[in-house]
Chain A
Amino acid sequence: MCSDAAISVRDLNVRRGEKLVLPGISLEIERGAVTGLLGPSGTGKTTLIRAIVGVQIVESGAVTILGEPAGSAGLRARVAYVTQAPSVYRDLTVRENLRYFARILDVPGERIAEVIETVSLGEDADREVDNLSGGQGARVSLATALLGRPEVLVLDEPTVGLDPVLRADLWRTFAGLAAEGATLLISSHVMDEAVHCDRLLLMREGDILAASSPDELLRRTGTRDMGEAFLKLIEEGRSSEAPGA
C-alpha cells in the first residue's frame, strides 16, 4: 500500500435498507491521476462514492481522504462531489447557479466564466437549467464542482448522456486537471470509458474485482477491450469459487 494515496478505504461496510451493498471492501486511489470506477448498474458505485465524500452513513470501516477522515469539515473546500443526477437549482440560470456556489466557496467571479467555458455552456449561460437538455444540466452540475479548483474531484457518471465529441472534450479536461495535480475518481457503467483512465477499479456486486491500469488489465486477461476483460474477470471469479456454490 502506498502511503501517498489520496483516498484510502479500509474494510468498508455499507448497508442500504436490508442490503449489504459494500461488504467490507478496501482500496486506495492514487494522487494526481484519473481513476475510473467501472461496474454494471446497481453494483454499488454511487454508494462507494457517497461513502468517500462522507454523505453516506456507513456501518463500519475507515475512509480517509487527503489524510483526514471522510466528511471532515476541513475537506469541504478541498473535495468536490458531483452527484449522478444533476444537483443544481433548476429554476435558476446556469450563471446564477454558479454565482451562488462561487460565493459559498469564496472564489472570484472570473472563475464562473472559466468553468462555463470548460463545460462548453457559453451560449446557454443565461438560460434556466429547466430549459436545458439533460446532458447540459449535467454539465452545469459538473461546472459547479470545478469552481473551487478542488484537490480531489469525485464525479458520479459525469459523461452519461453526452455526445462523443463533448465526452472526449471532458476526458481531456479531466486529464488536464490530473496533470495539474488533482485527483479524480470518475464512475461509469460504460466499460469503453476505461481507456481514458490512468487507473481502474472494476466493481461487481459490491466487490472490487480488479484494481490496475487499463493496459495491465488487458494484458492480464489477454483481451482486447474492457468489456471482454470485465467478462473474463467475472468468469475467473466464478471458476475459482467452490463448484457446488
Chain B
Amino acid sequence: MNALSLNIHAIRAIYRFEMARTRRTLLQSIVSPVLSTSLYFVVFGSAIGPHMNEIAGVSYGAFLVPGLIMLGLLTQSISNASFGIYFPRFVGTIYELLSAPVSPLETVIAYVGAAATKSTLLALITLGTAALFVDLRIDHPFWMVAFLLLTAVTFSLTGFIIGIWADNFEKLQLVPLLIVTPLTFLGGSFYSIDMLPPFWRTVTLFNPVVYLVSGFRWSFYGHSDVPVGISLGMTFVFMLICLAVISWIFRTGYRLKR
C-alpha cells in the first residue's frame, strides 16, 4: 500500500458498517419521510394549494415538491452524518478508527458516502411519494440528480463537522434545529423568493439554501429564482468550505485526539 493508493478495504468496511446501521432502522427511516411528505401534501397541496395561484406556470402542489425534497435531504444528510461520527466518539469505539491505517480522506469518503447514500435514497422515496399526489415534470433529469447528489454530499460533510464538534446530544440537535430548519423554511422551499418584498429578497440571498432549492427546482420546471450557474457555483463553494474545515479538523486532531 503506497501513499497514493486508498485503503479500499477500510472504506468498504466503514461504509458497510454504516449502511448496516441504516438497514437496522430502515422502517423508521422510510416511514418518516413518506409520512411527512404526505402530510405536507394534505395540508399545503390539498387544503391551501387550491387557494394559491400557480407559481411560474406550475400548480402550487407541484411547486412544493423540489423544496420538500430539499428540506428532507438537508435534514437527513446532516443527521445521518453527524450521528454516524458522533456515536463512536460518544461510546468510545472511535479508538479503533483512530488507531487504524486510515487516512482522513478515506474516513470522510466512507462516512460521508454512507450518509449521502441514505439521504439520497430517502429523497427518492419522497419524490416517489410526491408523484402519487401531484403531476410531476422533470425537465432536466441529469441536473436533478446532480443537484441531489451535490447537496447530499455537501450537507453530509456539514453533518460530519457537527458530529465532531458536538460534545453532547443537545449540541448534535442544536445546529439542525436552530440553523438548518429556519434556513430551509426561509429558503424558498414553499414559495418563490420573487414573492418577497425587495429588502427581504436581498436578505434571502445570504441564505445558502436558496441557491440549492432554486437550482433544484429549475431542474424540474425550468424556472429558477437565481441563475442556475450561480446555484451550482454556490453549492461548490459550500462544499469547499466544509472540506477546508474537515481538513483543519484532521490536521489538528480537533476533538478526535487527546
A joins B in a complex: no
Please give the residue numbers on chain A whose beta carbons come within 8 Å of chain B beta carbons, in ascending order.
none
